[in-house]
Amino acid sequence: MTDLWEVFVRPRRGLAHTHVGSVHAPDAAMALRNARDVYTRRQEGVSIWVVPAHTITASSPDEKDAFFDPAADKIYRHPTFYPVPDDAEHL
Amino acid sequence: MSSTTDLIEAALRIGDDALVAGQRLAQWSARAPELEEDIALSNIALDQVGVARLLLTYAGEVEGAGRDEDAFAYRREPADFRNCLLVEQPNGDFGVTMAKLLFVSVYQHLLYQRLMDSADERLADVAAKARKESAYHEDHATQWTLRLGDGTAESHRRMQDAVTAIWPYTDELFARDDVSDRLAAAGVVPDPDSLRGPWSETVGDVLAVATLARPSVPAAPGGGRAGRHSAHLSTMLSEMQSLHRAHPGATW
């Protein structure tokens, strides 16, 4: 009956919604209200998203190495890898 | 303007409704069906107590005898309380609690909306703050009434029983007496009877969508506004006031 919902709160206008936790609720309308009561009691947000937890596809911890390690030695993906010519303005 | 006595009476009637409703809801703390609902009910309880504090403080200021909010909340006997009988009814099961919350919050929401135009500035200020809170209380009770009424056979049966059991106490919300007539004439508090129509319409709509029957049961005798309460209030107050009576002036 009661499903799990992931809760995302936007703390201020202009910022992105951030995952803050989860709530139990029988449907989306109640999930939104429960999220309001549990996660925005102290003026933490101006907007709330609730997402059914089962609809989220997550990367597997077992695949962590294959997923993330290859990025470790590719420093050229960082902008700081490239020297900036002295006469390049507006960077 | 009405007399000082009437103004104190007005603050206590509205404030005691909030205080007793808040204390009843607080009894769900750590006992609600789910953590989320536990927090929701505690939030609503705290909203109610917050409004009660403002009004009891105001009653003390108008009285001018040195009584503060704690003196009113913790040092009065049941017969000095001016709340309606509806709010002091026991919580029962979750359905009963939601029926009580629905009926009270629709009433309070309408009352606060009208009270914002009060000739008394302080009451108008309290109403402006409380109005938004009561709108949320009404929404919470409405959501649950819809889900329980139009839910399973068991939830429907229990929600209908709850609505029927609490219905007789709703009549008192709209009862007039000499005090309310004088307050209404002075523009301080709206005539309770003028809220009956809008209340009936809002609650009727919720019951209809929730597939619940509007009860046709006789009204219960009132008397709360005059201090004639059920034994339920004494029991509740004896617990609520026990700490303050054992340790007068205790703070934390």
Q: What would the pLDDT profile of B171-198 be if each residue is shown by its tens digit?
A: 999 999 999 999 999 999 999 999 999 9
Q: Does B42 reside within a domain?
A: yes
Interface test with A, best of B35, B36, B154 (most A CBs within 10 A): B36
Specify the residue for token string 């997923």.
A67
Q: Are A34 and B36 inside 8 Å of each other by CB? A: yes
Please check whether residue B116 lies inside any domain of the structure. yes
Backbone angles phi, psi at B251, to 5 degrees: -130, 165
What element of type H or E holds A36? helix A28-39
B139 touches chain A (CB under 8 A): yes
**Looking at beta carbons, which residues of chain A come within 8 Å of B34?**
2, 24
A24 with B43: Cβ contact below 8 A: no
Is B169:B89 a contact under the CB 8 Å cutoff? yes
Measured between CB atoms, does A53 come within 8 Å of chain B? Answer: no
Does residue B252 fall inside a structural domain?
no
**ipTM more than 0.85?**
no
Mean pLDDT value of segment B7-15: 98
| Lowest-pLDDT choice from A70-74, B155-159, B211-215 | A70-74
B251 domain-assigned: no
Q: What is the pTM of this model?
A: 0.90
- B120 DSSP assignment: S
* pLDDT score for B151: 96
What percent of chain B stands above pLDDT 90? Answer: 96
Q: Calculate the average pLDDT of chain B.
A: 96
Q: What is the mean pLDDT of residues B207-226?
A: 97
The span from the CA of B19 to the CA of B70, in Å, is 11
Cβ within 8 Å, pair A23-B36: yes
Dist CA A23 CA B179 (whole Å): 47
Q: In degrees rounded to 5, what are phi and psi of residue B127?
A: -65, -35
pLDDT of residue B251: 82
In this prediction, residue B143 carries a pLDDT of 97
Position A86 scores a pLDDT of 86
**Whether pLDDT at B131 is above 90:** yes
Nearest CA in chain B to A34: B36
In-domain check, residue B64:
yes
- Please give the tally of structural domains in chain B: 1
Q: Which residue has the higher pLDDT, B233 or A61?
A: B233
Query: Rounded to whole angstroms, how far apart are CA atoms B15 and B58?
Result: 10
pLDDT at B2: 53
CA distance B181 to B187: 10
Considering only CB atoms, which chain A residues are within 8 Å of B37?
A: 34
Which residues in chain B are contacts of A29 at CB distance < 8 A?
143
> What is the mean predicted confidence (pLDDT) over B76-95?
98
In angstroms, what separates the C-alpha of A38 from chain B's closest C-alpha?
6
Instruction: Label each residue of B59-100 as H, E or C.
Output: HHHHHCCCCCHHHHHHCCCHHHCCCCHHHHCCCCCHHHHHHH
The tokens 């503060």 sit on which residue? Answer: B68
By DSSP bridging, strand A18-25 and strand A3-10 are: antiparallel
Partner B contacted by A29 (CB < 8 A): yes
Residue B32 has pLDDT above 70, yes or no: yes
B 146-175 residues inside an 8 A Cβ radius of A: 147
pLDDT of residue A73: 86
Range(s) of the domain holding residue B30: 4-212+222-246
Q: What is the CATH number of the domain that holds B206?
A: 1.20.1260.10
Gap from A21 CA to chain B (nearest CA, Å): 12
Ranges in chain A, pLDDT < 70: 1, 91
- According to the model, what pLDDT value does residue A46 have? 94
Q: Residue A9: what are its φ and ψ, rounded to 5°?
A: -120, 135
Contact B143 A34 (CB under 8 A): no
pLDDT value at residue A55: 95
What average pLDDT does the segment B205-209 reach? 98
- Is B59 contained in some domain? yes
Q: Is B36 part of any domain? A: yes
For residue B62, the model assigns a pLDDT of 98
Q: What is the mean pLDDT of residues B58-80?
A: 97
- Continuous H helices in chain B: 4-26, 35-63, 69-74, 85-88, 94-115, 121-149, 153-166, 178-185, 196-209, 231-240, 242-246
Residue B217 placed within a domain: no
Question: Which residues of chain A lie closer than 8 angstroms to B139, CB-CB?
Answer: 33
Cα→Cα distances A10→A17, A22, A45, Å = 4, 15, 5
**Structure-derived torsion over alpha carbons of residues B174, B177, B183, B189, reported in degrees to the nearest 10:** -10
